Amino acid sequence: MTDPLHLASFLHNSAVQTALWIGALAAILNGSIGIFTVLRQHSFAGHALGDGSSAGGAVAIFLGSAALWGFLGMAWLAALAMGALGLRRARERDLATGVVLGATLGISALFLYLDVSSTQASGATVEVMFGSIFALDPQLLWPTILLVGVAIALIVLLYRPLLLIAANPDLGRAAGLPVRRLELLYLLLLGTAAALSALSIGVILATALLLGPAASALRLARRPWQSFLYAQGIALTAVLGGIYLAFMSYYWSDGASWPVSFFVVLLILLLYLASAALASRRRTKR
Amino acid sequence: MFSSFLLHTWIAATLLAIAAGSLGYFVVLRRSAFAAHALPLAAFPGGALASLLGFAPLWGLGGFAIIGVLFLRIFSLLGRRDVAMGLLLSSFLALGGLFLSLGREYAARVYGLLFGEVLGISSASLLPLALLVSVVLLLLLWQFPILLLESTQPELANAHAISSARIEWFFLLLLALVSAAAVPVVGTLLVFTLLVSPAAAAQRLSRRPYHAWALAILFAELLSWSSIALSYWSNWPLSFFVGVQGALLFLFSRIFARS
Amino acid sequence: MPAFSVSTDPVLEVSNLGVRLGGRQVLQDISFTLKKGSVSALIGENGAGKTTLLRSILGIQTWQKGSIRVLGKTARGQLSQIGYVPQKIAFDPYLPLRTRDLVALGQTGRHWWQRSDTAAVAEALAAVQAESFAEQRVGMLSGGQQQRAVIAHALARRPRLLLLDEPLANLDFASASRLVELLGVLARKQGISVLVTAHDMNPLLPILDHLVYLVGGRAAAGNVAEVVRSDVLNRLYGYPVEVLQHRGRLLVLPENPQQGLEIPCHVHEHLDQHD
Ligand SMILES: Nc1ncnc2c1ncn2[C@@H]1O[C@H](COP(=O)(O)OP(=O)(O)OP(=O)(O)O)[C@@H](O)[C@H]1O
Ligand SMILES: [Mg+2]
């Protein structure tokens, strides 16, 4: 039987299976939390958290401990620092984020260098910066399911108050919401999302997964909850499609497969452009 | 530590710090730290392509940084500016990753491009760097008052028939040039520390424009010189010292300005 | 300056309030009370502390001296009784909330994952005549429409005290008088106590019961007949003010601004506001 799409070998490959599951979980979480990141214009902070978690990943590889906890620990630490430092004054936020980001990047430069020179882990840079989704440890799956499950449950419970304080924090305060605690919760969820996607599709591409699907969904949604579903759908399409295309590229380009991250970002960009076109067509029709 | 081998690094870093410090003044004034982070990353695929096809990296870096500016302007028209910035850096890095994966020395190249290769600076690359830096500096000095006015009081500038869009183009193109020049030295990821930290510290300490501007250049020089020296002695990567000392500089300036 | 007559059940009672902000005494010794179903205006120039006072009543702003009681209790426990419309409202066009959703978010007193009370939402939308744009995104509405959406948001919790910060600043002449009319109806028919801040009291005069003047961080309070008199206003503003009566309505004007070269700065700000 011929199988030009190689679907059978794709789905029966255990490395691919792990990649699909973890990629899907990261996509669902990033799509949802990205809604708040785009609304709050926190793109730089979201990106910085992903980059910052890379320092944790590099340290974890150096210490020989599980990368997941390195990524997560650093992202949560950075999220708490951001909450303490500069949520209030937006003018300062940009600079403070940039300076902290510079420091964490410097630290990850050091530990990646140490990783390479002391442990012969020559792939550490690539692993941390671009992710290595086909080489993920299947044991990561359960902690990831747990983290994403808890995060999604919190978002489902709290998306309405979170939307209100993103719209106008004073309206939230007047409605009796604990605005500071909710903002901190959002930052911790953002850190979790950044760490997970940094681990799966790599630190820098995490930004596209966080922002692209959410920004596309916010254009198209007509109801509050729709924006979350659309964002999750777009993120899932991009990640799963990207993994499949990367797998297929092995057959197209005799042996040298192209990186997953390239295809994921390409799909995110195309879907973003499509949503812009769709939204403008909808507007002219009306 | 002043051997001819390292001499190139000293000269390159000194030139670069002048450009980064002076342009950084406007990066901070215009609150464009994200742009200063994203554009060097946009240059990244240029370096990767250059190493794949074997031409001088400066051309690749410069070319892609300018393409990055185009991308940014177009995507800013389509939606949010900060989202455009995030998409720019992700997509260009992904492209760079693709180019590198097509080549041979994948891992080593990635590290070098992202975090810099101080010892990789040849005497042949110093001349274009010097030219680039002087062009940036001349353009900045020429447009200094207009840029200053538009960055601090855009409405007033518009009333004087200064177009904000044109100033933004001008600023981003200068940023692209500096990024291209700086990437081979400190790497894509830490160009922006050199742009942001010294200028942010300088603006904390002085309110007078030319004074703060000169202070930013001075801080940038101190930051890069001390980083090179420390990196030489410890054998640790240069970008580690740039990143951490940049953060310390910013912290000290805040404490100092408050007291 | 005579204080408000003490009513049997004051909805809001502010006494000896003192607020410091950034090392400056912004409000000092502020005392006044609001009665059920009354409309009061909080008047003062830019930076007089109007917003600060409203935020203190809500408990968003901490204060150093005095006390604020809403319906006899501290404000913190009474947030579900207070509706608040902030000064600057500009929703993001990306915000995925329709007017109806925003109004539903104004309800308090139930858990956030429970369904909203659709009757209260419909009632609030009807009160500000927002049915026509109920299904549109709030970020796509005009400034005045957004303001009405936020008033509906505040009404959705069926408050007994409504605080509005400069609600007339963004409105054209007709919309402003329609809003003033609405506030009057809310007070008279539903017994809501309304406190509105403004630079200019003229548009509010037809429905106004009481005035609270903020000058130099201190307040002078009284009812319309007591305060809207040229001698009292002269003292408060520190320059000559004329009170005209036209077809049973009051109008406050600076006296002959064309003749004296010194146009009071209050008027300057006024012109800036509306140009
Ligand atoms: N967070 C703050 N820190 C320090 N000072 C503040 C702060 N917020 C307000 N102020 C000062 O308190 C004073 C009162 O401000 P407020 O916003 O209450 O004035 P306002 O009467 O509402 O003015 P406007 O008519 O312009 O709205 C102003 O002088 C302002 O500068
Ligand atoms: Mg105010």
Per-residue model confidence as pLDDT tens digits over A215-227: 999 999 989 999 9
Give A-chain residues touching C89 at CB under 8 angstroms.
Answer: 168
Mean pLDDT in residue range C15-36? 87
Q: Which of residues 69-128 of C touch A (CB under 8 A)?
A: 79-80, 82-84, 86, 89, 91-92, 94-98, 101-102, 105-106, 108, 112-113
Residue nearest atom 18 of ligand 1, based on CA coordinates: C49
In chain A, domain spans: 7-285
Q: Closest to A175 (Cβ–Cβ): which among C86, C108, C138?
A: C108
Write down the ipTM of this complex.
Answer: 0.87
- Assign C274 a pLDDT band (cuts: 50, 70, 90): very low
More confident residue, C225 or B52: B52
CB contact under 8 Å between A160 and C105, yes or no, is yes
CB contact under 8 Å between A175 and C157, yes or no, is yes
Question: Which of A1-5, C52-56, C254-258 has the highest average model confidence (pLDDT)?
Answer: C52-56
How many structural domains compose chain B? 1
pLDDT in tens, B164-177: 888 889 999 999 99
**What tokens appear for A245 in the block?**
């295309």
Q: What confidence score (pLDDT) does residue C4 get?
A: 46
Mean pLDDT of chain C: 82
In chain C, domain spans: 12-228, 230-275
Residue C5: is its pLDDT beyond 50? no
Percent of chain C with pLDDT over 90: 31
Q: Tell me which chains share at least 3 CB pairs under 8 Å with chain A.
A: B, C
Mean pLDDT in residue range A188-217? 89
Q: Is the CB–ligand 1 distance for residue C38 below 6 Å? A: no
Q: Which class does domain C12-228 fall in?
A: alpha beta
Q: What confidence score (pLDDT) does residue A97 get?
A: 85
Residue C247: is its pLDDT beyond 80? no
Q: What confidence score (pLDDT) does residue B11 get?
A: 86
Distance CA C238, CA B66 (A): 60
More confident residue, B174 or B103: B174
Q: Is the CB–ligand 1 distance for residue C157 below 6 Å? A: no
Give residues with Cβ within 8 angstroms of A82, minimum separation 6.
Answer: A45, A49, A96, A97, A100, A187
Adjacent-strand bridge partners of C33: C13
The domain spanning residue B37 has which CATH number?
1.10.3470.10
CB contact under 8 Å between B110 and A126, yes or no, is yes
pLDDT in tens, B190-207: 788 889 999 999 988 888
State the fold for domain A7-285: ABC transporter involved in vitamin B12 uptake, BtuC (1.10.3470)
Residue C47: is its pLDDT beyond 50? yes
Give yes or no for a contact between B251 and A96, defined as CB atoms under 8 angstroms apart.
Answer: no
| Matching residue, tokens 């139930």 | C110
Please measure the distance between the N-terminal and C-terminal CA atoms of chain B and give it in whole angstroms. 38
N residues, chain B: 259
Question: Which of A62-66, C29-33, C219-223 has the highest average model confidence (pLDDT)?
Answer: C29-33
- What is residue B175's three-state secondary structure? helix
Give residue B48's domain range: 4-258
pLDDT in tens, A235-251: 999 999 999 998 888 77
Residue B4: is its pLDDT beyond 70? no
Mean pLDDT in residue range C74-81? 79
Q: Among residues C147, C138, C228, which one has the least CA distance to residue C183?
A: C147
pLDDT in tens, A121-160: 556 666 666 667 777 788 888 999 999 999 999 999 999 9
- Assign C98 a pLDDT band (cuts: 50, 70, 90): very high
Mean pLDDT in residue range A88-109? 79
Residue nearest atom 31 of ligand 1, based on CA coordinates: C47
Q: What confidence score (pLDDT) does residue B106 get?
A: 55
